[in-house]
Amino acid sequence: MTTILAMGFLLGLQHAMEADHVAAVAALAASKGRLRWIMRHGLFWGLGHALALGAFAGAVMLARGSIPAELSAGLEFAVACMLITLGAMVIWRVARERLHFHVHRHRDGKLHFHAHSHAGEQQAHDKNKHEHQHHSNSVQRSLAVGVMHGLAGSAALIALAAPGQFMDGMGFIFLFGAGSILGMVVLSSVIALPLLLSGRLMTGLNRGLQMGIGMISVGIGCAYAYASMPAMLALLQS
């Protein structure tokens, strides 16, 4: 049993690296200017993912039921739409809001870079005019995205965890969730490196990276939507 539980943790680590998860967290963190902010988004994605898995999959296992294929397909399609929306939001923000990146030092001596918009300004850009407020780095969206991913992945996880006893299955799900949290925190720190370095060295490169993240998120979302479309059409026609 210990081997099976350890496998759950390792599978959770691997699960965090799946393309749709990486694309979602990258899109959420694309404009963040500090490593801890980006890692916090990864952490809350993992928490939302684990909570949804534990609650939804646990309830289904307790009832000794299964998730209908139609519901699973619907959740996958919802994830696809979510990825397209997240990617489109990144592209829109970079392309339309005249985002500008710069480095400044706070009173506590900490140096960091961040993005701000010059949308609607008529005067020429002035490097000396950068009074701004730091916007809230709310993690609610990351938590919600993680919940959606967790719901969509519940069916496959139940198939892995269900053969044993309920408590054994919940232990497997718990360690799977813990692995996915750790995996996403580590992965978000890797995502942060090119964003932070390019933000400090070259605004154009950072804008390009963010546009690339947005386009990849949209592309993966479209691919997932296309893959789940037959099941969705069958559901609508039934």
145-169 pLDDT per residue, tens: 999 999 988 877 777 766 667 788 8
pLDDT at residue 60, as a whole number:
83
User: Per-residue pLDDT for 11 more than 80?
Assistant: yes
Contacts of 140 (CB under 8 A, 6+ apart): none
Average pLDDT for 212-234: 90
Global pTM value: 0.77
* Of 99, 135, 44, the residue nearest 209 (C-alpha): 99
What is the C-alpha separation between 136 and 210, in angstroms, rounded? 19
Position with higher pLDDT, 2 vs 42:
42
pLDDT at residue 147, as a whole number:
94
pLDDT at residue 35, as a whole number:
82
- pLDDT-derived band at 5 (thresholds 50, 70, 90) equals confident
Residue type, 111: L
Average pLDDT for 119-128: 49
Among left, alpha and beta (phi > 0; psi -120 to 50; other), residue 2 is alpha
Please name the residue that has the structure tokens 């139940």. Answer: 158
pLDDT at residue 47, as a whole number:
95
Tokens of 167: 């408590």
pLDDT at residue 229, as a whole number:
86
Please name the residue that has the structure tokens 């490593």. Answer: 35
- pLDDT-derived band at 105 (thresholds 50, 70, 90) equals low
pLDDT at residue 164, as a whole number:
62
Average pLDDT for 212-224: 94
- pLDDT-derived band at 29 (thresholds 50, 70, 90) equals confident
Sign of torsion over alpha carbons 121, 125, 128, 130: positive
